Amino acid sequence: MVRARLALGLLSLLGSALAQESSSYVDPRNGITFQGLTDPTYGVTYGAVFPPLVSSGAQSTEFIGEIVAPLAAKWIGLALGGAMLDNLLLVAWPNGNSIVYSTRYATDYVQPVAYPGPVITNLPSTSVNATHWNWVFRCQNCTSWSGGSLDTTSGAAWAWAYGNTTVDTPSNNASTFAEHSDFGFWGEIMSAGHASAADYANYLAGTSTSSTTTVSSTTTTTTTSSTTSTGPTSTPTAYDYVIVGAGPGGIITADRLSQAGKKVLLLERGGPSTAQTGGTYKAPWAANTSLTKFDVPGLFETMFTDSNEFWWCSDITVFAGCLVGGGTSVNGALYWLPTDADFSGANGWPSAWQNHAPYTSALSARLPSTDAPSTDGKRYLEQTFNVVQSLLTPQGYRQVTINSDVNSKDHVYGYSAYDFINGKRGGPVATYLQTALQRSNFVLKQYVMVSNVVRNGSQITGVKTNDTSLGPNGVVPLTTNGRVILSAGSFGTARILFQSGIGPSDQLAIVQSNTAAAANLPPSSQFINLPVGESVSDNPSINLVFTHPSVDAYNNWATVWASPPTADAAQYINNQSGVLASASPRMNFWRAYAGSDGITRYMQGTVRPGAASVNTTNSYNASTIFTITAYLSYGITSRGRIGITPSLNAQPIVNPWFQDPIDKVVLTQGLQDIISSVSSVANLTLITPDNHMTLAQYINAYDPATMNSNHWVGSAKIGANSSVAVVDSNAKVFNTNNLFVADASLIPALPVGNPHGMLMSAMEQAAAKILALAGGP
Ligand SMILES: Cc1cc2nc3c(=O)[nH]c(=O)nc-3n(C[C@H](O)[C@H](O)[C@H](O)COP(=O)(O)OP(=O)(O)OC[C@H]3O[C@@H](n4cnc5c(N)ncnc54)[C@H](O)[C@@H]3O)c2cc1C
Ligand SMILES: *[C@@H]1O[C@H](CO)[C@@H](O)[C@H](O)[C@H]1NC(C)=O
Ligand SMILES: *[C@@H]1O[C@H](CO)[C@@H](O)[C@H](O)[C@H]1NC(C)=O
Ligand SMILES: *[C@@H]1O[C@H](CO)[C@@H](O)[C@H](O)[C@H]1NC(C)=O
Ligand SMILES: *[C@@H]1O[C@H](CO)[C@@H](O)[C@H](O)[C@H]1NC(C)=O
Ligand SMILES: *[C@@H]1O[C@H](CO)[C@@H](O)[C@H](O)[C@H]1NC(C)=O
Ligand SMILES: *[C@@H]1O[C@H](CO)[C@@H](O)[C@H](O)[C@H]1NC(C)=O
Ligand SMILES: *[C@@H]1O[C@H](CO)[C@@H](O)[C@H](O)[C@H]1NC(C)=O
Ligand SMILES: *[C@@H]1O[C@H](CO)[C@@H](O)[C@H](O)[C@H]1NC(C)=O
Ligand SMILES: *[C@@H]1O[C@H](CO)[C@@H](O)[C@H](O)[C@H]1NC(C)=O
Ligand SMILES: *[C@@H]1O[C@H](CO)[C@@H](O)[C@H](O)[C@H]1NC(C)=O
Ligand SMILES: *[C@@H]1O[C@H](CO)[C@@H](O)[C@H](O)[C@H]1NC(C)=O
Ligand SMILES: *[C@@H]1O[C@H](CO)[C@@H](O)[C@H](O)[C@H]1NC(C)=O
């Protein structure tokens, strides 16, 4: 399926940012000292050893590699650049007593094609025995490929892909095969993997004799949960509230609970984002400023096109931010104060949550919105607003100030509103987190990964982390009556619940089958069966691409990282004003539709210069392209499901888009309406879909993975009882005493547009409900 390919294709991570790193081991069968890793889930070993480094001239372009796999592994792939797209892929499988191998390459999320150039030679210890297949090979001309290379003097992310179904034609190295059933990343420390010239020559000749010598280090790598260290000798600090995840949910609840005097620990698996949090990752033109990638709104589009995407979670197959601020440090920051309908009973909220006004007021007081984010108050690059205004006016739309006229969401448009502050990314990190950090009863810990909560039946006694400085075996203790709040995002929270023995039996069985994770589970008699992950939604979204001669596509945002227009960079550096003070969207609009099932659904449109992809054979002027993304939002009836793979990667296991055909009919109608007045706007041309394709053909062919809007909600939703929901109306997990959820997971259904404004209001409310609930610290 496309989604997992998408993840492997989009991630490219530095070795240093990865939890798993290679170590040195000797394969006793061939005596070769490899730098590599044994994946604990499948027991597959991946290793590489390089010729010696030279102090002058070019480095060698070859290495010796091995894959040692149990026969259950039907095929294995190795992505040398750590990603599926535009990387050298080595694929191998057993065929009888021999190993068949192939070099492949992919430029899209489809079957990789043969890639000529590398020269592979099997070495003598290649073999198949009763339990394993062992591929040991020399790979020449293997350190660079079209669009990428290995720097063997350092470390880099490598990726493995595991196939659990036999390839279509095992005897043929050009065989097709089904998509990998699992994947993972590790940091390959190539700098530590260079042999002497003599050893390397012996390895090639198969005459290494070290098979009887002592193995100097083991093949096991650290995992997040298998540590047996006893931690510090001093008594670990206990907390009233341990909150997992510093996204908007975790930050807002941490601020409100610490404001109320509670002793709060906020744990975040990632590191700094904006300069205010200690972040330092900057565009070259901003190198001598304090303006990081996460500060500059105009760099939003580069979140998806960078070669060093350390901010995405490497173990979730869709985009999820893993750094301080979570999604709000990498998102488009489109910020809508919630409508009354967003919190209605019809949208799944318990009656106690429907009066959202006080919480929304508290939110907007802390975090105001702006639809003119440049510090000079001017609007820049507004041509798309004017063109689409001309397109929508004949359809009966009127202009509003979006966050002033909040409940008007039918036939309205306005300037895009953001939670940027002073021309920079603001959000909860610049506001709530800063007030929390000033309190002595608040502690933020970064680079701490939580695997599960520790519990005795319904009582949570601690939080299991990978940081043994926080407590014995990494377990953070709670004070008397202490509580835990999961704010790890729609995928992260669901995974922690599964790893804590809370969720549907099929997902808990996957945890039980993972040796490291199973060791942290409570006895199965204490498993809590709740519909975790079973009712998720995300907006289906479809792009229309146009050209208009008045539009400046701003080089399709392709140059903003390396070389934006000089004057724009100077203006932004000096004054945080100009084009770069805003993310790409310039206008948003909404319209209501009655479905044939009697349910009213809303469509949101987002207008921006540039386009992610254009598909037309007609010629067009790329300098004038722009996109309208149409999202189906409030009222959507389709639901999907979130689950985990055997190596604990989190992913959608049922896609949430267009499960109900009425959702598709309604969005199709919305798209049809948008384009109905194209001919009334002089020189406006729809280029995707173009005049060779109908709208229906275009929608039917639309790649589901690109329908993803990154607006996942509902994986631990709030509701009436444990048959239909995961948390009760106090945000407490059913059948537990002291475990809560405060993030997008608890939102029962999507609001009328991009969710983080509504989410943050809900988080103000969650904090208030948790504080008010008796029995706490
Ligand atoms: C690319 C993109 C663009 C978006 N654009 C918009 C937009 O323009 N407007 C809008 O309203 N919404 C947008 N969103 C959605 C919005 O950002 C999310 O709805 C919101 O961030 C969800 O907040 P959360 O607190 O539930 O989780 P997250 O923001 O996902 O935060 C979860 C945090 O928990 C941490 N974490 C996870 N697991 C663990 C663990 N095991 N241990 C420790 N820490 C952990 C993560 O590192 C992360 O920091 C966008 C999202 C994405 C990904
Ligand atoms: C199959 O192997 C041969 C050499 O043995 C090689 O030339 C060819 O490119 C390979 N094909 C694929 C698809 O890997
Ligand atoms: C090395 O591989 C590349 C493809 O990555 C190919 O273009 C080149 O011709 C190869 N070089 C040699 C010497 O075979
Ligand atoms: C088969 O190969 C595996 C992996 O190299 C090895 O651990 C195992 O001992 C081998 N089995 C036999 C019977 O040689
Ligand atoms: C392969 O793995 C997938 C995903 O984990 C699973 O659904 C499927 O049943 C597995 N197939 C086989 C043949 O084991
Ligand atoms: C940053 O400062 C260094 C040292 O003064 C200088 O060499 C470099 O050109 C500056 N970079 C930019 C983008 O101004
Ligand atoms: C814990 O996990 C985080 C996130 O993967 C990582 O950055 C950190 O280095 C890990 N800590 C330890 C002690 O392994
Ligand atoms: C678990 O809780 C029960 C009471 O519910 C108690 O009797 C038991 O001692 C506890 N077990 C541990 C290991 O704390
Ligand atoms: C910054 O703003 C000031 C005051 O408005 C203006 O004089 C100056 O030209 C601006 N600098 C740039 C580089 O735009
Ligand atoms: C582009 O459109 C054609 C039909 O005109 C379709 O066959 C093709 O798959 C599309 N390509 C992409 C990348 O969507
Ligand atoms: C494309 O549009 C740009 C910007 O309007 C214009 O300068 C250029 O002349 C156009 N190119 C063509 C080939 O029409
Ligand atoms: C449309 O394009 C024509 C030339 O192709 C030009 O004369 C006319 O001014 C344009 N109209 C608008 C509204 O841009
Ligand atoms: C749970 O709540 C749902 C929805 O309100 C309701 O239909 C169902 O009857 C309830 N189940 C139980 C066991 O109370």
Note the pLDDT of residue 1: 19
pLDDT for 10: 40
Confidence of residue 18 (pLDDT cuts 50, 70, 90): low
Q: Whose CA is nearest to atom 10 of ligand 8?
A: 456
Q: What is the DSSP string of 32-97?
A: EEEEEEE-TTT--EEEEEBPPP-SSSPPP--EEEEEEEETT--EEEEETTSSSBTS-EEEEEEETT
pLDDT tier for residue 305 given thresholds of 50, 70 and 90: confident
What is the predicted pLDDT for the residue at 216? 35
- Phi and psi at 421, nearest 5°, equal -130, 125
Q: What is the pLDDT of residue 234?
A: 65
Atom 1 (ligand 8): residue with closest C-alpha?
456
pLDDT, one tens digit per residue, over 441-494 is 999 999 999 999 999 999 999 999 999 999 999 999 999 999 999 999 999 999
User: How does pLDDT run across 155-166, given as a tens digit for each residue?
Assistant: 888 999 999 999
Give the ligand with the smallest distance to the CA of 43: 4
Query: Is there an atom of ligand 5 within 6 Å of 164 CB?
Result: yes
| For residue 223, pLDDT beyond 50 | no
Q: What is the residue-averaged pLDDT of the chain?
A: 92
Q: Are 486 and 326 in contact (CB under 8 A)?
A: no
C-alpha to C-alpha distances, 588 to 225, 554, 760, nearest whole angstrom: 45, 19, 20
> Can you tell me the mean pLDDT for 285-308?
93
At 107, the pLDDT band (50, 70, 90 cuts) reads confident
pTM score, two decimals? 0.86
| More confident call, 640 vs 314 | 640
Q: Is 248's C-beta closer than 6 angstroms to any atom of ligand 1?
A: yes
Mean pLDDT of 359-378: 98
Residue type, 625: I
State mean pLDDT over 507-527. 97
Q: How does residue 19 score in pLDDT terms, banded at 50, 70 and 90?
A: low
Closest ligand 8 atom, residue 456 Cα: 1
Ligand 5, atom 11, lies closest to the CA of: 164
Q: How far, in Å, from the CA of 428 to the mean position of ligand 1?
A: 12
Each residue of 687-746: pLDDT tens digit?
999 999 999 999 999 988 789 999 999 999 999 999 999 999 999 999 999 999 999 999
> Measured from the CA of 624, which atom of ligand 11 is nearest?
2
711 is a catalytic site residue:
yes
Whether 360 contacts 368, CB under 8 Å: no
The pLDDT value given to residue 2: 24
pLDDT band, very low/low/confident/very high, at 209 (cuts 50, 70, 90): low
Instruction: Determine the pLDDT at residue 109.
Output: 67
The stretch 69-80 carries a mean pLDDT of 96
The Cα 623–Cα 339 span in angstroms is: 37
Q: Over the stretch 404-446, which tens digit does the pLDDT of each residue have? A: 999 999 999 999 999 999 999 999 999 999 999 999 999 999 9
**What proportions of the chain, in percent to the nearest 5, are helix, strand and coil?**
25, 25, 50
Q: Does residue 217 carry a pLDDT above 80?
A: no
| Number of neighbouring beta carbons within 10 Å of residue 720 | 11
Lay out the sheet containing 541-547: strands in order across.
Answer: 398-399, 412-415, 587-594, 600-609, 625-632, 541-547, 685-688
- Which pLDDT does position 16 carry in this prediction? 38
